[in-house]
Amino acid sequence: MTDYHNTSSGNRGGNHVQAGHIDELVMTVVNEAAEPRKPVWDVTRALHGPFVNHDDACAYAGKVYRETALRGRPGGLYVIGPRGVGKSAFGVEAAHLLRSLYRSSAADPGDDAGRPAASEECVWGLHVDLDEQRAAGAEDHVFLGDALASLLRDLGMPGEEIPPTLKERSREFRRITGEEPCIVIVEGITSAREADLFATGGGSMVLFTGRGEITGLRRRNVPTVRLPALRTDDALALLRGFDGPEERLERLIGADTRAARALVDRCGGLPLALQIAGAYLSMWPEETPASVVARLDASGAHLPQELDRLVEAEEGEPRLDEVIALGFGDLRSDAAQRLYRALGDLPGLRVHEGLPAALLGSLEEARDALGRLVRSCLMAAEGEGRYRWEPLIRHDAHRRAQAEPDDRRREARERAVAWYTAALAKADRAGGMGSGRSRATAEHGDAAAAREITAPFGEAQGEASAWVGEVLDTVPALMAMAVETGRRRDALVMAESCWYGVHELRRGSVGAEIFRHAGEIARAEGDRVAAARMDNYLARALVDDGELDGAAAVLATALDEAPRAWERAVLLETRGLLHKERGEFDAAEADLRERRRINEELGRLRAQMIDGYQIGGLYLSAGDLTAARGELEAVRAMAEEWRGADDDWRSLAAKNGVRLAEVYLRSGEPEAALEAGEAALQAFGPAAPALRKADALAVMARARGRMGDAGGPGDTGGPGDVGERGDANATRTWAATAVRLYRRHHLYEKAEALADLLR
């Protein structure tokens, strides 16, 4: 076996770098950095019929926004209302109103001197639904840290830079929303503490929704809107919104206004109930408002006995159960009703058409059933095969599922578990999601990934990881279903397939739940190899969340139980990183060297390359530049010998090059640093993540600055002036480009470190 440890190729710059090619790469990065940043607007309308809900409340939201966020202060509004009153729809409509107010003020900022002038397209729209987490199975808690991590990523912060603790994430969210004007919707808060975590900075506003008064918010005089039921005229307008070109509903309402008003009363003025009733009237020409009222009044005694009421209906009070039952009966399709009940037995509010296809046995039948659910207003279509429950309707579907025979429920659950296992395994093996999972689950996972299913993502980069991020909260409940139906190996595959998403998206809270459960399943199966691997994922998730003591305890137990050398090596890497986080460099070095010894004995070359990279980084952190140079140059030698093996090798070689350039720079060798930085930029290539290229440009700029090529006074190296390798503008151009990219992703400390090169 070739010995790569502490050897050097003698060529400090590594592979020969062509100056012309580097200039082209620099131009690509400069142009990328110069492109205007497009804010995320993650607030979409999904309404049935016209929005007629609460004009006064919308006007009040606008007033709060003008008096706070548009004057550079933090804004907040708490929206209270029972289920079905339209809080979600109101939040979305209010957010669109606030965006229009922002655009107007950006176009004419004269009245808002307290807020810096900005482009009308620079407002962000963000949304997080805590109720959706509860629907995914977290009935007694929500993963607030994960929700904040999701918002930070939406704002552009890379996963590896998201701080570990809840307090730090909240602070970063407040800081960034004080720099980027945002309109944020947070649905389903239950306490003032939850609201505090999502408070924005000056110039941004958050819309909270909840079902009841929160004392802490009232004491602080947080502006509050209590959504009442729709006024009768507005409710009738909503019903008319389901009319066709022949205006049949308009005629029916005009012919029997009394019955139409009675229908509004039976629906309690709640938009959700009115939508179902309006859809029912529009689909069945033999029905009238009077006949629907009669059905609702008569149906109370005929509701299935096993269904508990959402609300006990007294004379003249809303009959929510009966209205939803009306919509369920409106399906008039056995397949659609079976799908309704089957989906109600599964966690989560979002559904991709691939899951109904698995439950019903055909994509064509699934699309027909989903279409019926949408037309009956029991589910909303989001486009591209994606659908969403209203929580109140999903609750009804869940109760109906519980009334199903056990064998039918079990069959549906088995089909769902099989589909999710296959979809998660496919995502894990898709481009950019990692590969080479543990021997404990690889064979079963490979077989699952090879199954023919309607996948919930396409081949475009990032689609697989985005879908995994959407379903992570449902995975613990799905794993429990897998165990209940005797599919324990599927539960382990689902868990392991989530690792990349948990780590990259910094979803450590749900990740800890997933991998803790997976470890328990593996031990129950007597599979010590799988248990060791799941413990490693658990420890990494805890480290990502700043739970260092918990991670140490998990690793101690896992290392005592680790049955094989290669599993021990995996655990040692995590413990080494844990020691590094604690500043325990000697202990970290001991663990990483022991890991390397194991990998050398096993002949695992890629693992040895990672070992050298980790140990070199450890020495660099500790200030031992000589030892760091030896380790990182040895990694470069390995990369050169195995050049072109695959993208994974090239990416690791490029990251190693940036780290090695830093060593050369600190050692007073700027020429070598420049060559290493250029080689790293070339290895990353134009398609690499922007921040990787920014790291390479930053070290190149600092190296060129040390070499004396700082350019003329006041020359900042604009976007059109690339600064070729040998010209005097290189330092400022490269530094300015890196700074733009760092600031775009809120890495202000890295940007500040280059400030002296721009003076």
Task: Give the type of residue at 510.
Answer: V
Which region among 197-201, 226-230, 284-288, 319-323 has the lowest average model confidence (pLDDT)? 319-323
Strands (E), 297-434: 350-352, 380-383, 386-388
What percent of the chain shows pLDDT beyond 70?
A: 86
Question: For residue 19, what pLDDT is reported?
Answer: 53
- Give residue 497's pLDDT band: very low, low, confident or very high (50, 70, 90): very high
The string of pLDDT tens digits covering residues 151-171 is 999 999 988 889 988 999 999
Question: For residue 728, what pLDDT is reported?
Answer: 56
DSSP letters spanning 148-176 = HHHHHHHTT--GGGS-SSHHHHHHHHHHH
Distance from CA of residue 655 to its chain's centroid?
25
User: When comparing pLDDT for 106 and 695, which is higher?
Assistant: 695
3-state secondary structure of 77: strand
- Give residue 593's pLDDT band: very low, low, confident or very high (50, 70, 90): very high
Question: For residue 438, what pLDDT is reported?
Answer: 60
- Give residue 109's pLDDT band: very low, low, confident or very high (50, 70, 90): low
Tokens of 72: 């550079």
Evaluate whether 677 touches 654 at the Cβ level (below 8 Å).
Answer: no
Distance, CA of 367 to CA of 363 (rounded, Å): 6
3-state secondary structure of 80: strand
- Give residue 313's pLDDT band: very low, low, confident or very high (50, 70, 90): very low
Q: Could you write out the three-class secondary structure of 88-120?
A: HHHHHHHHHHHHHHHHHHHHCHHHCCCCCCCCC
Evaluate whether 102 touches 181 at the Cβ level (below 8 Å).
Answer: yes
Q: Collect all residues with Cβ–Cβ distance below 8 Å to 224 and sequence separation of at least 6.
A: 77, 78, 79, 80, 213, 217, 218
Which region among 529-543, 616-630, 701-715 has the lowest average model confidence (pLDDT)? 701-715
Distance, CA of 13 to CA of 4 (rounded, Å): 17
Evaluate whether 280 touches 326 at the Cβ level (below 8 Å).
Answer: yes
- Highest mean pLDDT pick, 291-295, 439-443, 712-716, 728-732: 291-295
- What is the arithmetic mean of pLDDT over 525-542? 93
Q: Collect all residues with Cβ–Cβ distance below 8 Å to 120 and sequence separation of at least 6.
A: 102, 103, 106, 107
Distance, CA of 137 to CA of 348 (rounded, Å): 7
Question: For residue 305, what pLDDT is reported?
Answer: 39
User: When comparing pLDDT for 182 and 330, which is higher?
Assistant: 182
The string of pLDDT tens digits covering residues 392-446 is 888 899 999 999 999 999 999 999 999 999 999 999 888 554 455 665 567 888 8
- What is the arithmetic mean of pLDDT over 78-107? 88
304 has a pLDDT exceeding 70: no
Long-range contacts of 613-621 (CB under 8 A, 24+ apart): 613/652, 613/655, 613/656, 613/659, 614/573, 614/576, 614/577, 615/589, 616/656, 616/659, 616/660, 616/663, 617/659, 618/576, 618/580, 618/585, 618/588, 618/589, 618/592, 620/659, 620/662, 620/663, 621/580, 621/585
270 has a pLDDT exceeding 70: yes
726 has a pLDDT exceeding 80: no
Question: For residue 193, what pLDDT is reported?
Answer: 94
Distance, CA of 113 to CA of 295 (rounded, Å): 59
Question: For residue 120, what pLDDT is reported?
Answer: 47
98 has a pLDDT exceeding 90: yes
Which DSSP symbol is given to 71?
Answer: G
Evaluate whether 401 touches 359 at the Cβ level (below 8 Å).
Answer: no
How do the domains of the chain map onto residue ranges? 55-226, 232-330, 334-404
- What is the arithmetic mean of pLDDT over 276-298? 89
- What is the arithmetic mean of pLDDT over 376-384? 90
The string of pLDDT tens digits covering residues 648-697 is 678 889 999 999 999 999 999 999 999 999 999 988 888 778 888 999 99
Evaluate whether 522 touches 531 at the Cβ level (below 8 Å).
Answer: yes
Residue 75 phi/psi, 5° resolution?
-115, 150
The string of pLDDT tens digits covering residues 445-483 is 888 888 999 999 998 878 898 899 999 999 999 999 999
Distance, CA of 14 to CA of 572 (rounded, Å): 30
- What is the arithmetic mean of pLDDT over 354-372? 96
Structural class in CATH, domain 55-226: alpha beta
Residue 225 phi/psi, 5° resolution?
-125, 125
End-to-end CA separation in angstroms for the chain: 51
Task: Report the chain's mean pLDDT, rounded to a whole number.
Answer: 85
Which DSSP symbol is given to 56?
Answer: H
The string of pLDDT tens digits covering residues 744-758 is 888 888 999 998 888
Distance, CA of 552 to CA of 216 (rounded, Å): 37
Question: For residue 56, what pLDDT is reported?
Answer: 87
Distance, CA of 341 to CA of 347 (rounded, Å): 12
Long-range contacts of 670-674 (CB under 8 A, 24+ apart): 670/702, 670/703, 670/704, 670/706, 670/707, 671/703, 671/707, 672/12, 672/13, 673/699, 673/700, 673/702, 673/703, 673/706, 674/700, 674/703, 674/704, 674/707
Evaluate whether 416 touches 358 at the Cβ level (below 8 Å).
Answer: yes
What percent of the chain shows pLDDT beyond 90?
A: 54
Evaluate whether 185 touches 43 at the Cβ level (below 8 Å).
Answer: yes
Question: For residue 268, what pLDDT is reported?
Answer: 84
- Examine domains 55-226 and 334-404 and report if their fold is the same: no
Of 37, 173, 36, 42, residue with least CA distance to 96: 42
Question: For residue 41, what pLDDT is reported?
Answer: 86
Which CATH architecture is the domain 334-404 placed in? Orthogonal Bundle (1.10)
Evaluate whether 684 touches 652 at the Cβ level (below 8 Å).
Answer: no
